[in-house]
């Protein structure tokens, strides 16, 4: 895989234009983030589009942060350009670079914020997970110095935050930031750098066949699984049945739970889990498609009215359209803010649209 060379936003923009599920939003400080809000089979249909996972640009549109590219689960059938099977991996063993344990946490990356290090999640600087990560960063001089080195050289360091207050499935008793990868901002190349930081544990390459075997995966407990990285930097996730069976969207397979998973951008985990548990995915796919279309419709309606009223002053627009159900989104667009479509949908549409009725044939399965 040859990653796209990106110096400015204009290098990436043509590859994501027209994809309503990918937003290009500028915050009040002039920083622009390109990130997918939800995903379907066409979202990541090109190598450049894989960068729409939180890549960030400054107020001059120069790149300042390049987190991990989007990669998918083993045998994923809806994953666009980077879909891998066990057979392919074993046939190309010589192209495997490293195997990591898959940590069950949140991605935290660095950004060059006017020459200083600033921690960020996929979408923003001020999220809850950023607030949990900051004290760990502040208390560890090694992490601080390493991150400063990265931004001085035009690199992005990406960590996995595991924290008892940000639990997903696995219970991590102590807060920790562990280094996952370092990428060159411009080339996208993954770098191997010497460091003495807490890092994601690696696995011996000699166990590749074992890692891919059903017997081995079934035997795993208290872990999410593995990530295999190839020499070209691309990666694939392998999740063990123990983890996916505990994931909340498999434990509670109801319409609303699936809808929340779509909004949380974790639907790829559901498909992998359902495949392993032999659960019919037609109903899941229908929910995904419905929500995607609803979000696209909401976005289009807001954009249309925004274009019509752009020449009017703010007060006039507010008085005329304040009773419209999408009024808050209209004003956010007028103010140049991120629409936060998924947040709006969660607060205003989720409970009305989706019930607690079980999905598919999950009731027939012993979870």
Q: 356 lies in a domain?
A: yes
Q: 332 lies in a domain?
A: yes
- Tell the residue number behind the tokens 């027939």, with chain if given: 364
> Which domain-ending residue is among 16, 41, 65?
65
Return the closest-CA partner of residue 353 out of 312, 306, 307, 293. 293
| Axis crossing angle, helix 341-348 with helix 327-334, rounded to the nearest 10 | 160
CA–CA distance from 287 to each of 21, 58, 78 (Å)?
16, 36, 15
Q: 298 lies in a domain?
A: yes
Query: Angle at CA 81, nearest 5°, toward 180 and 11?
Result: 75
Contact 318, 331 (CB under 8 A): yes
Q: 91 lies in a domain?
A: no
| pLDDT by position in tens, the chain (length 367) | 899 999 999 999 999 998 988 999 998 889 999 999 877 778 899 999 999 999 999 999 999 999 999 999 998 877 778 889 999 999 999 999 999 999 989 999 999 999 999 999 998 998 889 999 999 999 999 999 999 999 999 999 999 999 988 877 787 889 999 999 999 999 999 999 999 999 999 998 677 898 899 999 999 988 899 999 999 999 999 988 888 777 644 445 678 888 988 888 877 766 766 665 556 678 888 898 999 999 999 999 999 999 999 899 999 999 999 999 999 999 999 988 888 899 999 999 999 999 877 775 443 333 2
Q: 240 lies in a domain?
A: no
Burial of 35 (0-12, 13-18, 19+ CB in 10 A): buried
Report how far residue 54's alpha carbon sits from residue 67's, in angstroms, rounded to the nearest whole number.
7
> Which domain-ending residue is among 12, 39, 65?
65
> Which domain-ending residue is among 14, 30, 65?
65
Return the closest-CA partner of residue 145 out of 163, 133, 157. 157
Report how far residue 286's alpha carbon sits from residue 131's, in angstroms, rounded to the nearest whole number.
36
Q: 273 lies in a domain?
A: no
- Rounded to a whole number, what is the distance in angstroms from the first to the last CA of the chain? 38
> Does residue 176 sit in helix, strand or coil?
strand
Q: 220 lies in a domain?
A: no
For the chain, the three-class secondary structure string (H helix, E strand, C coil) is CCCCCCCEHHHHHHHHCCCCCEEEEECCCCCEEEEECCCCCCCCCCCHHHHCEEEEECCCCEEEECCCCCCEECCCCCCCCCCCCHHHHHHCHHHEEEEEECCCCEEEEEEEECCEEEEECCCCCCCHHHHHHHHHHHHCHHHHHHHHHHHHCCEEEEEEEECHHHCCCCCCCCCEEEEEEEEECCCCCEECCCCCCCECCEECHHHHHHHHCHHHHHHCCCCCEEEEEECCCCEEEEECHHHHHHCHHHHCCEHHHHHHHHHHCCHHHHHHHHHHHCCCCHHHHHHHHHHHHHHHHHHHHHHHHHHHHCCCCHHHHHHHHCCCCCHHHHHHHHCCCCCCHHHHHHHHCHHHHCCCCECCCHHHCCC
Specify the number of domains making up the chain: 2
Distance of CA 283 to the CA centre of its chain: 23
> Does residue 1 sit in helix, strand or coil?
coil
For residue 356, give its domain range.
Answer: 282-364
Query: What confidence score (pLDDT) does residue 365 get?
Result: 33
Report how far residue 115's alpha carbon sits from residue 66's, in angstroms, rounded to the nearest whole number.
16
Q: 246 lies in a domain?
A: no
Query: What confidence score (pLDDT) does residue 306 get?
Result: 94
């Amino acid at each position: 895989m040859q990653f796209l060379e990106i110096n400015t936003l204009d290098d990436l923009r043509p590859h994501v234009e027209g994809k309503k599920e990918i937003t290009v939003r500028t915050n009040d400080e002039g920083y622009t983030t390109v990130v997918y809000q939800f995903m379907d089979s066409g979202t990541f249909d090109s190598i450049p589009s894989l960068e729409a996972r939180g890549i960030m640009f400054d107020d001059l549109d120069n790149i300042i942060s390049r987190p991990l590219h989007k990669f998918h689960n083993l045998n994923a059938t809806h994953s666009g350009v980077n879909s891998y099977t066990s057979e392919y991996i074993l046939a190309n063993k010589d192209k495997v670079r490293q195997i990591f344990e898959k940590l069950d946490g949140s991605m935290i990356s660095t950004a060059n914020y006017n020459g200083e290090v600033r921690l960020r999640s996929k979408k923003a600087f001020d999220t809850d997970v950023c607030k949990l990560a900051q004290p760990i960063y502040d208390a560890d001089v090694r992490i601080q110095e390493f991150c400063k080195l990265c931004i001085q050289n035009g690199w992005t360091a990406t960590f996995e935050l595991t924290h008892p207050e940000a639990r997903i499935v696995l219970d991590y008793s102590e807060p920790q930031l562990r280094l996952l990868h370092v990428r060159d901002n411009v080339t996208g190349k993954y770098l191997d750098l010497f460091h003495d930081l807490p890092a994601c544990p690696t696995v011996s390459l000699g166990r590749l066949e074992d890692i891919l075997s059903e017997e081995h995966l079934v035997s795993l407990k208290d872990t999410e699984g593995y990530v295999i990285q190839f020499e070209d930097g691309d990666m694939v996730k392998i999740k063990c049945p123990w983890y996916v069976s505990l994931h909340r969207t498999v434990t509670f397979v109801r319409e609303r739970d699936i809808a929340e998973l779509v909004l949380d951008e974790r639907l790829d985990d559901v498909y992998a889990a359902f495949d392993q548990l032999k659960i019919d995915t037609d109903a899941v796919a229908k929910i995904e498609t419905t929500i995607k279309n609803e979000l696209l419709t909401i976005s289009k309606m807001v954009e249309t009215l925004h274009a019509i009223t752009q020449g009017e002053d703010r007060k006039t627009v507010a008085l005329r359209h304040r009773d419209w159900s999408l009024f808050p989104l209209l004003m956010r667009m007028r103010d140049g803010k991120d629409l936060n479509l998924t947040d709006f949908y969660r607060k205003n549409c989720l409970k009305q649209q989706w019930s607690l009725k079980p999905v598919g044939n999950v009731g027939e399965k012993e979870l």
